[in-house]
A and B are shown apart, each in its own frame.
Chain A
Amino acid sequence: MNPIGGTTPSATQDAAADAGLSQGTIVLRKFLRHTGAMVSLIVLAIVALLAFSAQGVGPIPGWWIHNHTSSAPVVNPGGAPTWTLAQPFSLGEHPFGQDDIGRDNFARVMKGTQISLMVMAIIGATALVIGTTIGALAGYYRGWLDGLLMRITDGFIIVPTIVVGAILGKLIGGPGFSFFGLPLSTYMAPMLGLVLGGILWTSLARLVRGEFMALREREFVDSARVSGASDFRIMAKHILPNSVGVIIVNTTLLMSQAIVLETALSFLGFGIRSPQISLGQLINEYQSAFSTRPWLFWWAGLFIIIIALCINFIGDGLRDAFDPRMKAIPSVRKMDKADRATAAARIAARTEGGASRSSPSQGNPPDGIPPQGNPPQGNPPHDDPPHDEQKGERR
């Protein structure tokens, strides 16, 4: 059964249901229907909520009894996790265990998650701004500006991000750097986010450039220019909304790269450093304790994976939602079921109206193959150039 070739009843229904809706609504609907993305979104929200409420934000205290720095007497031998499945189920004092000096691992993992999420968000925002701006300018103006900006982009790509990240991380954590005389601990995480955002924007810039290059040749840009719109207005009001899909999708995917990069740098000791914590820093601190206190190691890693995985799935869902060629294609089982239903309906109709002979040549073959024909083409308001990762990858 080839889901691409033939129209299935539910696909037709999709197209019919989309008629008359705005592009934004269609995208939103497709996204809401993407199971993986929705589950990931909910999981991510729960993780973020848990992390921020458990340890509190800034001066607001959290609900968890311990915080990430205070030591408490070690409950279980070695600080093993205290939760138990035996009746009655209870979390105990330290559900994720304790480290060698009795600090609560749950509090530390939650604090680390907070910091890592924050750095990730800052990286995403920074990369979004820089990448979009550079890509837009290069793609719109072309010529020497494009050449210059793309060479700058090449410069960032030539050296592995982790190397540049390590150098910049060392720079802002070193003694030679001060930020308005503030103590290091207050500005380290946001600063790291800014700096890493400053090196992760390259792929976004290339994609936005490609998109702008294609869109600037379109008629609606010409007509805007003819009616006297300024360059800035054309870029911001006419082209940018048309490339918002590429931007959102790639910023999301970039954030999953961001959290892996931040944790890796913190692991190597060039990102967030002790006494501050992030998920990578926790793994760095506890890696030697793996054979004696494995719980210290598992939880931090698990949270990194959960966050990165959720973001990847959300990005995937967004990509599918923004792609006009992408239709909600039901599973094989659903399609078989629909086929059977149509076939049954046909047979019923034929036996019912047997006397009237409703031209059997129009009917379906008896084995329930759906009528062949071109699937309705989604009908996007403007036929977007196909945008996906592959585009702009050539240099």
Chain B
Amino acid sequence: MIKFLLRRTLSTALVLLVVTFVLYLLLDTALDYYADLRQSTAPNIGELYEARARLLDLDTPVIVRYFQWLTGAAGCLVGSCDLGTAWVSGQEVTSQLQGAVVNTIKLVTAATLVAILVGVFLGMVSAIRQYTGFDYFITFVGFLMYSLPVFWVAVLLKQYGAIEFNNFLSDPVVGWTPIILVSLIAGLIWMGALGGGRRRRTISFVGATVVTFGTIYYVLASGWLNNPTFGIVGIAVFSLAAAIAVTFLSTGLSNRRALWTAFTVAIIGIALYQPLQYLFWYVEMTWLWMGLLLIVGVGVGLAVGAAFRGPDPGISARTGAFVAVVIGVLIFIDRVFQEWGRYSAHPAINNRPIATIGARTPNLSGNFWFENLDSFTHLLLPSIALILISIASYTRYTRGSMLEVMNQDYIRTARAKGLPSRTVVMRHALRNALLPLASVIPVDIITMIGGAVITETIFGWAGMGKLFIDSMNRNELDPIMAYIVITGLLAVVANLVADFLYAVLDPRIRVDA
């Protein structure tokens, strides 16, 4: 196994080396180092040309220059990076990269996680409801999103998601017609997703419509949009709902121990809400703190589950841990949004909270929560743009793979021996259907990094994609090469992880070196 992975990594690394060589040669031809001098009418134009050639060492053959660059880049392995300089600004590439890599990873991670979760969920439901109106609807929407040009969506998002939405926030009034329309559509979608007989469909339709209507009405009437926190009541409602949902999905509600575990964890979470607020108030938080609190939360969840004992404490413990994570995230979001009023009113924001440009507001500093909120408002639109285009492939893929699995004999056996539908779908079908996804995700991440090039350019997100485009426009070779090497390395790592995951998850895969 290790031998196999090593061999694969080595061969991909070699491929990457060759790719950098070929692209170096291509780039050297493609970039026009004298672009700004061509229009120049300066009397000393000849000297300028010569100076430029000297600056960029253009008299040295390109192959020699490649190896010089490679020597510098190879220095990264021993801790002395020299990726060259961006000659227009004279900046070192390594210093340019630092912020850019972090920004891109932030953007791509957020988008990938959401896209996988939503995409897999939609694909699963769509497969279970195969050949129903809901399935056709999801398929159509999937194709539509697949066909959307991201640059077009991004410009639209900028206009409607930021500019118009900020206008809307200052006076959040919506007519009755759109509210009713949205409620009816939500009702239809839920009805399709939940399926069942005529009676059940009617109940889901009416229920979903009323709940959606009530929610929208409450949000608008109470001015929640300008003060978007859950408060302890909201946290309580969501925690209990999460407890039921997590139990339903992971064990089924009939497993009483798991259900009680979930409820206990939820109640502990609600009880800890107020003390946590004090903690957040008196102690300056960091991500390290957040990580520690999350670990503590998971620990509590596991402990509660184990305390319920029973014949299978592992399942209860797992349920408890999931519920704890959900509640932790809810409390985190709640705390971040408590800053909303202060954030909106800040002179640098000027009541236009959704940002269109950049990764953070310049000259804005505050506590941990404040900066997280700032980063969230900036992350929102570029992430939506990325999610929209990549969700479709996950949905299609999960649907196809799920249908394939659902037609297998062992699913029929599971149904025949009387297992509840939930167990068949969640335990027998979904787990197996997700296996091949392990090999799709890395490929998709590479695609997403590519998509980030456009998104970053439009949203002025100072990530690697923007660095790449800017350097292309400024005819700087070194930053482009750095970009290629880094994305290439990411791809190598992603493939390695995929191979590893696949071999670990699927015992049928035997890799012999």
> Given A155-B19, A158-B15, A160-B446, do A168 and B147 touch, yes or no (CB 8 Å)?
no
Is B450 in contact with A161, judged by CB distance below 8 angstroms?
yes
Is A157 in contact with B483, judged by CB distance below 8 angstroms?
no
Question: B35 → chain A, closest Cβ, in Å?
Answer: 8
> Given A283-B152, A332-B132, do A159 and B26 touch, yes or no (CB 8 Å)?
no
B100 near A: Cβ within 8 Å?
no
- Most chain B Cβ neighbours within 10 Å, of A4, A168, A170, A316: A170
B488 near A: Cβ within 8 Å?
yes
Is A305 in contact with B144, judged by CB distance below 8 angstroms?
yes
A201 near B: Cβ within 8 Å?
no
A-side interface mostly = helix
Is B15 in contact with A269, judged by CB distance below 8 angstroms?
no
Q: How far is the CA of A349 from the CA of B498 in the complex (A)?
A: 60
Which of A158, A167, A264 sits near B150, CB closer than 8 Å? A264
> Given A175-B32, A305-B147, do A154 and B15 touch, yes or no (CB 8 Å)?
yes
A176 near B: Cβ within 8 Å?
yes
B319 near A: Cβ within 8 Å?
no
The proximity string for B residues 24-35 relative to A, scoring 1 for CB distances below 8 Å and 0 otherwise, is 001101111000
Is B151 in contact with A312, judged by CB distance below 8 angstroms?
no
B255 near A: Cβ within 8 Å?
no
Is A332 in contact with B131, judged by CB distance below 8 angstroms?
yes
Is B16 in contact with A158, judged by CB distance below 8 angstroms?
yes
Is B12 in contact with A158, judged by CB distance below 8 angstroms?
yes
Question: A2 → chain B, closest Cβ, in Å?
Answer: 9
Question: A374 → chain B, closest Cβ, in Å?
Answer: 12
The proximity string for A residues 151-195 relative to B, scoring 1 for CB distances below 8 Å and 0 otherwise, is 100110111111110111011001111000000000000000000
> Interface residue tally of chain B, by bracket?
35 or more
A-B contact count (CB 8 A): 155
Is B147 in contact with A264, judged by CB distance below 8 angstroms?
no
B27 CB contacts on chain A under 8 angstroms: 167
Is A4 in contact with B30, judged by CB distance below 8 angstroms?
no
Is A309 in contact with B469, judged by CB distance below 8 angstroms?
no
Stretch at the interface among A54-62, A83-91, A98-106, A385-393: A385-393
A388 CB contacts on chain B under 8 angstroms: 400
Is B488 in contact with A312, judged by CB distance below 8 angstroms?
no
- Most chain B Cβ neighbours within 10 Å, of A313, A329, A389: A389
Is A177 in contact with B146, judged by CB distance below 8 angstroms?
no
> Given A170-B31, A268-B469, A305-B147, do A159 and B457 touch, yes or no (CB 8 Å)?
no
Q: Give how many A residues have a beta carbon under 8 Å from the other chain's beta carbons.
A: 54
Q: How far is the CA of A164 from the CA of B468 in the complex (A)?
A: 11
The proximity string for B residues 471-496 relative to A, scoring 1 for CB distances below 8 Å and 0 otherwise, is 01100000010011001100110010
Is A174 in contact with B32, judged by CB distance below 8 angstroms?
yes
B148 CB contacts on chain A under 8 angstroms: 305, 308
- A-contacting residues, B489-511, CB 8 Å: 491-492, 495, 502
B208 near A: Cβ within 8 Å?
no
> Given A151-B11, A305-B148, A308-B147, do A167 and B450 touch, yes or no (CB 8 Å)?
no
Query: Top 10 nearest A-B pairs by Cβ distance?
Result: A160-B450, A308-B147, A171-B30, A301-B152, A309-B147, A162-B450, A267-B151, A170-B30, A155-B19, A312-B143
Given contacts A4-B406, A163-B483, 7 further A-B contacts (CB under 8 A): A151-B11, A154-B15, A270-B472, A283-B155, A301-B152, A304-B149, A395-B439
